[in-house]
Amino acid sequence: MADKIVRTVLGDIVPEQLGYTSMHDHTVADMSQSGEYMQMMFSDRDPETLAFVPENYVGIKDGSYLANPELWVTGTVDDMVREFGFFKALGGQSVFDPSPVGIRGPIRDIQELSRKTGLNIVVATGFYHETTIPPEHMDQGEDHFYAVMKDEIENGIESTEVKPGAIKCAFSYLEDNELDAVHAGMRLAAETGMCIHFHTEPTTPADDLLDELEASVEKYGVNRERVVVCHMDNRICAGVVPSDYFEDESVDRTLDLELQRELLGRGYNIGLDTWGLPLLNPSFFMPDLFERTKALCLLCADGYASQITLGNDFSGKICMRAHGEWGPTAAFAFGCQRLLELGHDDWVHTLTVETPARLLAF
């Protein structure tokens, strides 16, 4: 990869400079667009139960925390300096922040975070699902999304010199705007050689996801090695229905890795990248850290360490070490630490150093 570069918020570096890298943690981000939607979803909740005070933490981790405007902004730059300091203390050197347009925080703040921490930070261009797409970009079609992303790639973000180093779109609810953005992103991935990351929801049906993904990869001629299908850890237990589990002794929280193996077998990368999301919603099973580690071990043993990305999906106060959670560290301090104890230093090096450098270089 001699002549390839990695595009950070402070300029281009060579891939070898990345070092130990988190491939999915949001830094300074702003979820107010999706927050307004979440306020509608949870409009029946007593606002007092949504206040961000320790006695409410257990209740709002069902997802309703995003209905509280105080939690729409991930935090100040100084909050992020402290939280990402815990990642640095583990040897962390670089972070890919996958926030697209509509979620990404002020780009100058992200630069300041990079300067203050010494971490290389790569940001994305792209668009998410419809609840996060700013109104001025809605219903304008693929060419509009393409033009906005291309402008950021070529001319910079928010009229600055800072350019994105990757593309981020979503396969979540498969609505028209979301898919228009996906197609625009795929076109740009094929043209630029940048890696492209896709948000997914644990509830997106596997067959629909695969069909849409394959169709767009084929149409735009994107190399599957440049595609990362994110959040493939948060669905490993989602197929087990909690009510069945409670009432039937023979129902176990068995891991289901079928979609993950299907994607890996076809040459895609998958993200096991939500280790730090403290979601506890009684309607579906989020995996715990032991189950995530087991999935990681099994897929690495299958020979897929070079196609797996790790991250925590750190996305604000609800995830902070300052508020009793893992911050941007669980994938590394829990997952990778267990692999090291089992003697798999080579897997950890591939997951944290080699694969990030391969993906972020273009």
- Candidates 77-85, 119-127, 310-318, 346-354: pick the segment binding Zn ion (CB under 5 A): 310-318
Number of Cβ atoms within 10 Å of the Cβ of 278: 18
**Shortest CB 99 distance to Zn ion, Å:** 7
**Residues 233-272 as x/- pattern, contact with Zn ion by CB under 5 A:** ----------------------------------------
Token duo for residue 100: 């697209």
**Strand, coil or helix: 140:** coil
7: phi then psi, degrees, rounded to nearest 5: -95, 105
Return the number of the residue (233 or 313) whose C-beta is nearest Zn ion: 313
What stretch of H or E contains 72?
none
Nearer to Zn ion, 313 or 325 (CB): 313
- Assigned token pair, 170: 């979503």
How near is the Cβ of 277 to Zn ion at its closest, in Å? 8
Of 15 and 98, the one with the shorter C-beta distance to Zn ion is 98
How far is it, in rounded angstroms, from Cα 352 to Cα 329?
12
What is the closest distance, in whole angstroms, from the C-beta atom of residue 328 to Zn ion in the complex? 11
Determine, following the binding rule CB under 5 A, whether residue 30 of this chain makes contact with Zn ion. no
Coil, strand, or helix at residue 9? coil
| Residue 97 in contact with Zn ion, rule: CB under 5 A | no
Range in contact with Zn ion (rule: CB under 5 A) among 3-11, 52-60, 284-292, 309-317: 309-317
Q: Of 83, 130, 313, 325, which lies in the binding site for Zn ion, with binding defined by CB under 5 A?
A: 313
Contact 198, 171 (CB under 8 A): yes
User: What is the nearest approach in angstroms of Zn ion to the Cβ of residue 24?
Assistant: 6
Verify binding: residue 25, Zn ion, rule CB under 5 A: no
First-last CA distance in the chain? 9
Contacts of 360 (CB under 8 A, 6+ apart): 6, 15, 18, 21, 96, 122, 165, 166, 195
Nearer to Zn ion, 31 or 300 (CB): 31
Cβ of residue 341: shortest distance to Zn ion, in angstroms? 28
Query: CB within 8 A of 194, min separation 6: which ones?
Result: 153, 164, 165, 166, 167, 188, 226, 362
Whole-angstrom distance, CA of residue 92 vs CA of residue 265? 29
Tell me whether residue 92 or residue 100 sits nearer to Zn ion (CB atom).
100
In 3D, which of 352, 291, 279, 334 has the Cα closest to residue 58? 279
Q: Which is nearer to Zn ion, 124 or 149 (CB)?
A: 124
State the nearest-atom distance from the C-beta of 22 to Zn ion, in Å.
Answer: 11
Nearest one of 250, 329, 249, 264 to 295, comparing CA atoms: 264
Q: Whose CB is nearest to Zn ion?
A: 313
* Number of shown-chain residues binding Zn ion (CB under 5 A): 1
User: Residue 129 CB, nearest distance to Zn ion (Å)?
Assistant: 12
Looking at the Cβ atoms of 128 and 347, the one nearer to Zn ion is: 128
Dist CA 105 CA 169 (whole Å):
17
Nearer to Zn ion, 202 or 220 (CB): 202
Residues that bind Zn ion (CB under 5 A): 313
